[in-house]
Structure 1
């Protein structure tokens, strides 16, 4: 397959539109269409399905996207190794992070990698637990930070930090009137939550199992920025770690109160038990553990954990 056509295909898949993909690529839409049509002819199947707002991937398109992303990652790693010129490991590492923890951990991780692992390129993907879990299983990322991950065969889990969970909404909102809330209090509140599977949804289900399960949220939002915009608009309440709304709290945009009894999520590092490129991936994993401890000492509202030895 032509690598240029695959690149065009990936961009259109990301933007969900031939026109927006062509705009990002800075080439004409017909040129993009021709390349993707050649791919479809070569494979003997359609890769996109058109709708009123753009295009979506067919099942064949989803398979090609996953495989081509993995292939390009391998090519990028080979390019970095061949170029050489750097001390230590060379290659690329992809890491998925939840939005809140990413705010605190990714900037210092990038800074330290520049000093200690200059030959390693860092790629960061942000998402909620369910999305991150899917990326891990499909091999799209090498490392992932996940809240309370479920055990999965073929992956190692290393606890890194413990973060207290709060009920979060607008300052002065009735649900935040007391100094703390109880799990049962959320039954009476309009909730804005990510879709299942997600750490907050699992937590609510566990709390309210005796009550017949958690009520459906008023709004489900799997986009981090959309969820926060809904909170600022007064659409309801959500569950966030203290670090997850610290910046908005300082600006007076959001407020939160803790639960009693105290509720915490464990932030863990998840990696394949047998990484694809351990000489590159594992130094980044070890560095990330040190970054967690440094970030806690510098103000991240979490408690660092000793964890277990990395594989």
Structure 2
């Protein structure tokens, strides 16, 4: 049996993360020849990320001498130098790079464990960085954020909106915890849970010749000048591939990565585009735009919920995922997300 060690600090008013750090530290301390603690690890990681003791001290809200002392004690405990100093700041040594990689995973596990322990007591804490593509942010972000804040007031929720490819990169880099995005076209280090499959529509201005049409073939749609996102965007790739299959070019009038500006050009009658109906449903109902389903072939896209494949999912992230799935089911079932069906 491992000997029980009394905790030398008062834990009653500490956050779950600090509570768990102290438990882990006091548990491991008797078996370490040169003990160090997770606060030193966190200080090291912050300096490594900032590349500067000055910037790291500001970020951590502690005095720079105190931060330098924590890192020095960590170096003495490990018997290695972790940083090389230069005129513009610091860079990690080979040992520092190894510690940065492994310590990052360690703190992720600690935070996930602390969150899980807190959840057992009925309290979900922590932070979730949530990414959404603009079309989803426009349609359901408000509902999701409101329900999440009502149910989990002690979780800090940060919302980012960006194009699908950008969200996938940020999630893969662990800068976003989970993101609603389109299914990746290339292999990525992501876990993807299907949400829905939605049909794509030809979107035109109110006076568009297709306004009264029940549907439009892809060949006919490609006769109109288009405003589309850049050629590295998933939707653009899909449209270009579909156009190649029917041996027609895409008449690109403007290449714009901002959804709001794309829609403004369409509304003004300057261009046309291809999007899910839910993205423009309000404008269509107001008579500002027209939407016609594309056929021969029909174009569909899969919406997924992406999380980093090699990072533990916190309880807070899991709770948000549940709310997202409920919101999707609710909107598809009610007809608020037309042209869509629940993904498999």
Matching residue within 249, 264, 275 for 2:311: 275
Q: Taking structure 1 as reference, are residues 306 and 263 closer, same or farther at Cα in structure 2, changes over 3 Å only?
A: closer
Tell me the residue number matched to 1:285: 321
Deviations 1:21-69 (A, max 9, x none): xxxxxxxxxxxxxxxxxx983259xxxxxxxxxxxxxxxxxxxxxxxxx
Partners in 1 of 2:320 and 2:205 — Cα distance?
38
Q: Confirm or deny that 1:241 pairs with 2:276.
A: yes
Q: Confirm or deny that 1:187 pairs with 2:234.
A: no
Instruction: List, as ranges, runs of 4+ consecutive aligned residues in structure 1 with deviation greater than 6 Å.
Output: 4-7
Deviations 1:187-221 (A, max 9, x none): 32110001122232122122122455643621011
Residues 292 and 304 in structure 1, CA contact (< 8 A), matched pair in contact too: no
Tell me the residue number matched to 1:93: 128
Partners in 1 of 2:134 and 2:261 — Cα distance?
12
Deviations 1:114-136 (A, max 9, x none): 23222222211112222222222
Q: Taking structure 1 as reference, are residues 156 and 277 closer, same or farther at Cα in structure 2, changes over 3 Å only?
A: closer
Q: Taking structure 1 as reference, are residues 306 and 133 closer, same or farther at Cα in structure 2, changes over 3 Å only?
A: closer
Tell me the residue number matched to 2:332: 296
Q: Confirm or deny that 1:225 pairs with 2:272.
A: no
Deviation at 1:230, TM superposition (A): 1.4
Aligned length: 245
Gapped runs of 5+ residues in structure 1? 8-38, 45-69
Deviations 1:267-304 (A, max 9, x none): 11111123355222222112211121122234422444
Tell me the residue number matched to 1:109: 144
Deviation at 1:166, TM superposition (A): 0.5
Q: Which moved more, 1:207-216 or 1:293-302?
A: 207-216
Write the mapping of 1:148-167 to structure 2, written as runs, cut at 5 A: 148-150=183-185, 152-167=187-202
Q: Confirm or deny that 1:143 pairs with 2:178.
A: yes
Partners in 2 of 1:123 and 1:135 — Cα distance?
14
What CA RMSD, in Å, does the superposition of the two structures yield over aligned residues?
A: 3.2
Residues 174 and 308 in structure 2, CA contact (< 8 A), matched pair in contact too: no
Tell me the residue number matched to 1:265: 301
Write the mapping of 1:27-176 to structure 2, written as runs, cut at 5 A: 41-42=88-89, 87-150=122-185, 152-176=187-211
Deviation at 1:151, TM superposition (A): 5.4
Deviation at 1:6, TM superposition (A): 6.6
Gapped runs of 5+ residues in structure 2? 1-52, 61-85, 92-103
Residues 205 and 213 in structure 1, CA contact (< 8 A), matched pair in contact too: no
Q: Taking structure 1 as reference, are residues 40 and 268 closer, same or farther at Cα in structure 2, changes over 3 Å only?
A: farther
Partners in 1 of 2:319 and 2:168 — Cα distance?
22
Partners in 2 of 1:306 and 1:88 — Cα distance?
31
Q: Taking structure 1 as reference, are residues 249 and 202 closer, same or farther at Cα in structure 2, changes over 3 Å only?
A: same
Larger radius of gyration between Structure 1 and Structure 2: 2
TM-score normalised by length of structure 1: 0.68
Residues 96 and 127 in structure 1, CA contact (< 8 A), matched pair in contact too: yes
